Amino acid sequence: METRPLGSSDLKITPIIMGTWQAGKRMWVGIEDEETIRAIRAAFEAGITTIDTAEVYGEGHSEQVIAKALADVREQVIYASKVFANHLKYNQVIEACDRSLKNLNTDYLDLYQIHWPSGSFKSEVVPIEETMSALNKLKEQGKIRAIGVSNFSRTQLEEAAQYGRIDSLQPPYSLFWRKIEQDAQPYCVEHNISILAYSSLAQGLLTGKFGPNHKFGEGDNRADNKLFQGENYQRAQQALEKLRPIAESHQCSLAQLSLAWLIAQPQANAIAGARNVEQATQNAQAAEVKLSEDELQEIDAIGRIVTDHLDDNPLMWNWG
């Protein structure tokens, strides 16, 4: 798989990135470690060398699973982890990084990201200058190689960038969720900040595998996702029907078509999770789907069937 520079750093990332929220098990159902390990390994063998995780995914469990899957090829992969909103004081950032290093069985993180802005989820408000100071220190020590932020607005991104080099932004971004296009994306283009899009398949909605009356199991976070609710969900089904003929013309799946569209957007790379070997391999193959300018515009217009009707709230889930 081709690689791309991560922001202005000397790191090279793959445009398709293995996401591992589900590897942590918490807020997911039906996840087994051994199957996840095989999926991560299959992603690597299919050319995906960038792996995204976070300390909060199962309280370190996701990181530990990654280490089991990839320890023997550590030098060939890019590890991206995140520090949560309740650990943004100087000493907390240092300690959280050390925990992640231990969990991942490595002495450096390629990319370390602030997972949510300070104050999120009722966390204590910590000045961004203090958090960035800790991240800069970790970078000086060689414990991390690049700094990123996640779920930041353009305004928050601009403020963070005053205190150090930000090489990536991780927002929710997919054909069905495009708020970043009006907010931070132009800033990322101007300042050469890579976009690492999460929920790039709208938590599986863009796979087309969920029928009109689908219900999620108890404890599945997707039950709270606005895209799976009411008229949003019905519009998504309409849009998927319009996407099917384009996918068929490329002999690819709806998921692959959606990922191919996303990585063709300015600065954008797609984080895609996988429960099993087949999903991981198929996600990797999306990088081979080449769309014409006309097709990109047609897909863009189909996506707006859904996105034009969403409210302005940047959070994808109806969490209290």
Q: Give me the CATH number covering residue 16.
A: 3.20.20.100
Whether residue 313 is contained in a domain is answered as no
Residue 11 tokens read as 């790191």
Written as one string, the DSSP assignment of 302-313 is HHHHHHTT--S-
Which amino acid type is present at position 52?
D
> 212 lies in a domain?
no
The answer to whether residue 26 is domain-embedded is: yes
Residues of the domain holding 10: 4-203+254-289
Q: What does the block give as tokens for 49? A: 């060398």
SS3 16: strand
- Give the tens place of pLDDT for each residue, 142-177: 999 999 999 999 999 999 999 999 999 999 999 999
Q: Are 168 and 111 in contact (CB under 8 A)?
A: yes
57 has catalytic annotation: yes
- Cα distances from 69 to residues 41, 52, 65, 77, in angstroms, run 6, 13, 6, 11
Which pLDDT band, with edges at 50, 70 and 90, does 320 fall under?
Answer: low
**Main-chain phi, psi angles of 9, to 5 degrees:** -75, 175
Report the phi/psi class of residue 18: left, alpha or beta, with left for phi > 0 and alpha for psi in -120 to 50: beta
Mean pLDDT over each residue of the chain, to the nearest integer: 95
Please indicate, yes or no, if residue 264 is contained in any of the structural domains.
yes
Q: How many domains does the chain have?
A: 1
- 191 DSSP β-pair partners: none
| Annotated catalytic residue, options 57, 79, 173, 187 | 57
36 in a domain, yes or no? Answer: yes
248-261 pLDDT, tens digit per residue, is 999 999 999 999 99
Q: Does 180 fall in a domain?
A: yes
CA–CA separation, 280 and 277 (whole Å): 5
Query: Which residues touch 24 (CB under 8 Å, ≥6 apart)?
Result: 53, 54, 56, 57, 58, 59, 61, 62, 65
pTM of the model: 0.95
Please check whether residue 281 lies inside any domain of the structure.
yes
The residue assigned the tokens 């104050």 is 119
Q: For residue 93, is pLDDT > 80?
A: yes
| β-strands 50-52, 194-197 pairing | unpaired
Q: What percent of the chain has pLDDT above 70?
A: 100
In a domain, 244, yes or no: no
